[in-house]
Structure 1
Amino acid sequence: MRIGRTRRHGTAAVAALVALLVLAGCGSGRGGDESTAAGTTADAAAPAQEGGAGAPGESRDGAGVATDTRVDQRAIIYTGSIRVKVDDVDAAARTATAAATRAGGFVGGDQRRSSDADAVAELELRVPADRFYAVVEELAGLGSQERREIGTQDVTEETIDLDARITSQRARVESARRLLAQATSIGDLVAVENELARREADLASLEAKKRRLDDLTALSTITVTLVGPDATVAEEESQIGFLVGLNGGWKVFLTSMTVLVTVLGAILPWLLVLGVPAGALWWLSRRRRRHQPVEPALVAPAGTPAPPGVSATPPVPGARSAP
């Protein structure tokens, strides 16, 4: 009796834990940020409780852990683009590729258009963040720099938030696995497995975001455009004037004619199938009416007395009859 009662209590406890797990999963399904907010707070509060009031980095007024403001401790995404005019585009492209390789990076993209002095090469270089400015300066020295644009994005807070959410989600996955090992019925087993799969999917999504963020912060992106000596002639011309308007109008005219010819080609089969028979029927009916003989009007011979009640002379239009 005592053993059976113990088993019943154990089954009831597992069922209660499964119910709480399902309810927690439903509540967390309304938003990943809210579901991990408690875990983030707990993870942030745990070091404070262990270290006490004198823990480093904690504000004295109890506002929480202060963020490290040192540049070398922050996660920053560097992006830049530079346009350089060179004498030999292919040689400059090889030098730029070698510069990225020496810095510990690689070439993410390479597009080239070669036409003597009008050659253009566009390279996408991925270099370590600490070598970003050095590589940009080296690229600018390949020739005459025409344009440079550099942008930064501080993602330190996002990185910290992702780390906390990943830690909390891993703890939730482990708790679901422990409950899966304690499940005794088929219903509890299916419910826990579904919840475990959902939590593992959320964890995989968070880890993918973290890997993408780490890649962007570890390797900066530089888009370098290398142009030949005559590549900028057309771009430096005025963008207003008669020739520019004529060029634009001609392009619009060609586009309109292309659309018109396309529409005509689409409706031409219908015209041949329906229009030709309809036109032939209309022409035949008109020709038949034209060659049909006109019947003469019946006129009484001269000297023939008119029937009683009928006037011998036709009435004159507009004349009034005598009273």
Structure 2
Amino acid sequence: MTLKIVSLLFVLLFISGCNQDQSTELTRQMSNTNEMADQVLDVEEDAVDMEVEETDQTESNVETSERMVVQNGHLEVVVEEFDDMMYEIENKVMDLDGYVVETSVQGSEEGERSGSLLVRIPEDDFQSFLDEVVSVSVELVHRSTYGNDVTEEYIDLESRLRSQEVVEERLLTFLEAAENTEDLLTISEDLANVQQEIETIEGRMNYLENQVDFATVNLYIYEQSSTALQDQSSLNTWQNATNLFTGTINALLSVVSFIVVTVVGLSPVLVPVSIGIIVSFWLYRRKKK
């Protein structure tokens, strides 16, 4: 009986020791996990602090940075030959290393056509391109340009990108040092979110760079009607008649002035000669009688 009691006590002590070891190991793992979580949280808080500090510097950086302005233009013109104009514009866009985004052509019952083009032109050639289109047109209907300054947004994106890259680097370090599956899953999830944010920021920055490098121009082209009557303002009837009348009077005055100047200027010669001719003619008539 005594042997059974001793054996039972020994088994109970052994089980108690195993449970204590397991509890100690579990406590250690939980401690490591909490420590890793605290480190990840510290990284995220550092990233937030870094974004706040860099945001405070954004305004001063904007003042010293080159301005980033997205240029846009709107142009409406009337042309004589619709097909020739469309072809010429498309060739000009390609010569400038730009590209045509969209085109459309519409017809009318009278036979005249109209069309629109959405083109992207290198920013350096923006104004010269508009000037050239206007110069080969019959009439300028409308022209406007406007810009959108994205400098502050771009600098803010740069600051956010640097902060997220710091977080990514630290998370990669923690990922290599992780000792259990739970830590790996937690850090991997945070790392995926950070990398997704980096891709989003880089995509927006690339978009802004493209918008700044290439101006956007909306072109509307109208073919001149061959049967339409000219309006009174383009005929300038009264102005043309006034100009013709004034020109005729000026021409007559010029002729009269020339005659007077010639007679007066040659009078020392013309007067004696004229007298001589008159006297000779009178003597001839008298002698003949």
Mapping 1:32-71, distance limit 5 Å = 38-42=49-53, 65-68=60-63
Residues 102-111 or 10-19, more deviating: 10-19
Matched residue SS, 2:62: coil
- The Cα shift of 1:65 comes to 3.5
Q: Distance in 2 between matches of 1:74 and 1:13?
A: 49
Would you say how many aligned residue pairs link Structure 1 and Structure 2?
201
What SS class does the counterpart of residue 205 from structure 1 fall into? helix
Residue identity matched to 1:121 = G
Which residue does 1:111 correspond to in 2? 104
- Aligned mates of 1:123, 1:89 — CA distance in 2: 13
Cα distance in 2 between the residues matched to 1:64 and 1:227: 46
Query: What TM-score results when the alignment is normalised by the length of structure 1?
Result: 0.55
Q: Does 1:224 align with 2:219?
A: yes
CA distance in 2, matches of 1:64, 1:89: 49
> What is the one-letter code of the residue matched to 2:129?
V
Structure 1's 158 and 36: CA in aligned 2 closer, same or farther, altered over 3 A?
A: farther
2:86 aligned residue (90, 93, 98): 93
Identity of aligned residues (%): 19
Separation in 2 of the partners of 1:154 and 1:44?
18
> Which whole-Å CA distance do the structure 2 matches of 1:37 and 1:142 have between them?
56
Q: Which has the higher helix share?
A: 2
Given the superposition, is the C-alpha separation of residues 170 and 158 from structure 1 closer, same or farther in structure 2, using an over 3 Å criterion? same
Check whether the contact 1:104–1:127 (CA below 8 A) recurs between aligned residues: yes
Q: Residue 313 of structure 1 corresponds to which residue in structure 2?
A: none
Pairwise CA distance, 1:19: 3.2
CA distance in 2, matches of 1:23, 1:164: 19
- CA shift, 1:142, in A, is 2.5
Q: Distance in 1 between matches of 2:135 and 2:125?
A: 16
**From 120, 123, 130, the counterpart of 1:126:** 120
Secondary structure at 1:145 match in 2: strand
Alignment of 1:127-276 (within 5 A): 127-143=121-137, 144-230=139-225
The CA RMSD over aligned residues, in Å, is 3.3
- Residue 223 to residue 172, structure 1, CA distance change in 2 (3 Å): same
Identify unmatched segments of 5+ residues in structure 2.
1-26, 232-289
RCO greater where, 1 or 2, for CA within 8 Å and sep 6 or more?
2
Which structure 1 segments of 5+ residues have no match? 1-7, 28-34, 46-57, 237-323
Pair 1:64–1:102, CA change in 2 (3 A)? closer
| Superposed displacement of residue 42, structure 1 | 4.8
When normalised by structure 2's length, the TM-score is 0.61
Indicate the SS of the match to 1:122. Answer: strand
**CA displacement at 1:172 relative to structure 2:** 1.0
Tell me how far apart the structure 1 counterparts of residues 125 and 204 of structure 2 sit (CA, whole Å): 24
C-alpha distance in 2, partners of 1:204/1:132? 31
Q: Work out which of the two has the higher radius of gyration on C-alpha atoms and give 1 or 2.
A: 2
